[in-house]
Amino acid sequence: MAGAHPDPLALPLPYSVYCRAGVRQCIGEIAQRAAPSHRVAVISDSAVARLHGEAIAAQFPADRTRLFTVPPGEQEKTRNRWAELTDALLEWGAGRDTTVVAVGGGVIGDLAGFVAATFMRGLPLVQVPTTLLAMVDASVGGKTAVDTPVGKNLVGAFHNPSAVVIDPELLDTLPHDVLRSGFAEMIKHGVIADAPYFDAVLHFAGAVRDHGASAPNFAATITTLITGSVRIKADVVAADSREGGLRQILNFGHTIAHAVERVLNFELLHGDAVAMGMVAEARIAESIGLAREGLSMAIADAVERAGLPSRLPAGIRLDDLIAATHGDKKARGGAARYSLPRGIGAMEAAEGKWAVAVTDEVVKSALHASGPDAPSAI
């Protein structure tokens, strides 16, 4: 494909998103077109750098390109790593004529994105997501951040990329549990915006659980579904890029998910936490009368078909979870707020507000019903 000019998706975004098998071979060309620059700082983690980062860096002029790596893992998405990367770029001589190319999953996209957002008040950024989660969620929408001990993504900036390059072939090297985890965000996109898309995702869930063994056209179908998710996310962020209202629907499942991740010291995959968070938050929606009984089981069904967890882990203390929800970005006056579904494809928007305050008692009862003994949906 090198040399051929791939077409971006037609999306309502101020930057181009490419999604096509093999498009990784055109990253140099796409980056130079979207963000012409003198230097190129490719930022990746050490594992992804070996698999993809070095080959991508090789698409740029060797004397003006450097590959910067951090160790893999959510625990690396810190202010310290941001400072180290920033210092390394300064020592190298990077200036405003430098483009940052982020090659990795959500951690790298957020961390390298925050470096780009803040370095000399902003460098152009090209996102090259290598995980399913980053392809369908983190790479699109311009959020960049690092975590703090109080919670995830609490220090960050909005900084749109100049281009996003999604090559579903990069998923071939992704561990199965990480691929499956990213699928939780695709289920979320169906719940928050698009019932037919939810059905398509549900139909494909078994193939994700089996890692494609039961789906001969896995690659083509996942590419179509990734495109569907990107369209849903693009429509949301185009309408509300700064999360003043509507964009909060992308947080469905995440208030509980972030609390679970924090209580478990980030020792589970983000999408796994989102899967159980969506089921618990759908239970909250049912218990306050926003959603009809059965919604949480429909979501649990999709989650379980994909082999994702629908229940909270054994031994987790509900009071710790409740306390952790109070550090969520949507919290106001110390009270947690939730973006909740009315049904598949429809979110609550009472009085133009896309997140509602819920009492700790209601949340605790939903968490209790989502414990390790909750009934299976399938």
Asked if 81 is an active-site residue, the reply is no
Largest CA-CA distance found in the chain, in angstroms, rounded: 62
Shortest Cβ distance from residue 157 to ligand GLY (Å)?
Answer: 13
Asked if 258 is an active-site residue, the reply is yes
Distance CA 41, CA 168 (A): 23
Distance CA 222, CA 207 (A): 10
Asked if 233 is an active-site residue, the reply is yes
Contacts with ligand GLY, 195-234, as mask; x by CB under 6 A: ----------------------------------------
Using CB under 6 A as the binding criterion, the count of chain residues that bind ligand GLY stands at: 5
Instruction: Determine which residue in the list 101, 250, 302, 312 makes contact with ligand GLY, applying CB under 6 A.
Output: 250
Asked if 243 is an active-site residue, the reply is yes
Shortest Cβ distance from residue 152 to ligand GLY (Å)?
Answer: 11
The catalytic position among 251, 283, 286, 337 is 251
Distance CA 153, CA 70 (A): 18
Pairing of strands 125-129, 98-104: parallel
The catalytic position among 258, 262, 311, 337 is 258
Asked if 317 is an active-site residue, the reply is no
- 247 vs 311, which CB is nearer to ligand GLY? 247
Whether the Cβ atoms of residue 264 and residue 276 lie closer than 8 Å to each other: no
Distance CA 179, CA 14 (A): 28
Distance linking the first and last C-alpha atoms of the chain: 43
Q: Write out the H or E segment, with its range, that includes residue 358.
A: none
Distances (CA, A) of 177 to 43, 52, 124, 283: 24, 19, 32, 26
- 257 vs 290, which CB is nearer to ligand GLY? 257
Structure tokens at 135: 């392809």
Per DSSP, 8 falls in state P
Contacts of 363 (CB under 8 A, 6+ apart): 256, 284, 322, 325, 336
Asked if 251 is an active-site residue, the reply is yes
- 139 vs 162, which CB is nearer to ligand GLY? 139
Residue nearest to ligand GLY (CB): 250
Shortest Cβ distance from residue 182 to ligand GLY (Å)?
Answer: 12
Asked if 185 is an active-site residue, the reply is yes
Distance CA 227, CA 49 (A): 25
378 CB-contact burial (10 Å; exposed 0-12 / middle 13-18 / buried 19+): exposed
Residue 356 CA, chain-centre distance (Å), reads: 22
- 89 vs 165, which CB is nearer to ligand GLY? 165
Distance CA 212, CA 222 (A): 10
- 152 vs 209, which CB is nearer to ligand GLY? 152
Shortest Cβ distance from residue 205 to ligand GLY (Å)?
Answer: 21
Instruction: Determine which residue in the list 24, 152, 247, 330 makes contact with ligand GLY, applying CB under 6 A.
Output: 247
Subset of 105-164 contacting ligand GLY (CB under 6 A): 137, 141, 143
Distance CA 138, CA 23 (A): 19
- 236 vs 295, which CB is nearer to ligand GLY? 236
Asked if 217 is an active-site residue, the reply is no
Shortest Cβ distance from residue 106 to ligand GLY (Å)?
Answer: 8
The residue ranges of DSSP E strands in 162-228, in sequence order, are: 163-166
Characterise 294 by phi-psi region: left (phi > 0), alpha (psi -120 to 50), beta (else): left
- 26 vs 347, which CB is nearer to ligand GLY? 347
Catalytic residues: 121, 143, 185, 233, 243, 247, 251, 254, 258, 270
Binding site for ligand GLY (CB under 6 A): 137, 141, 143, 247, 250
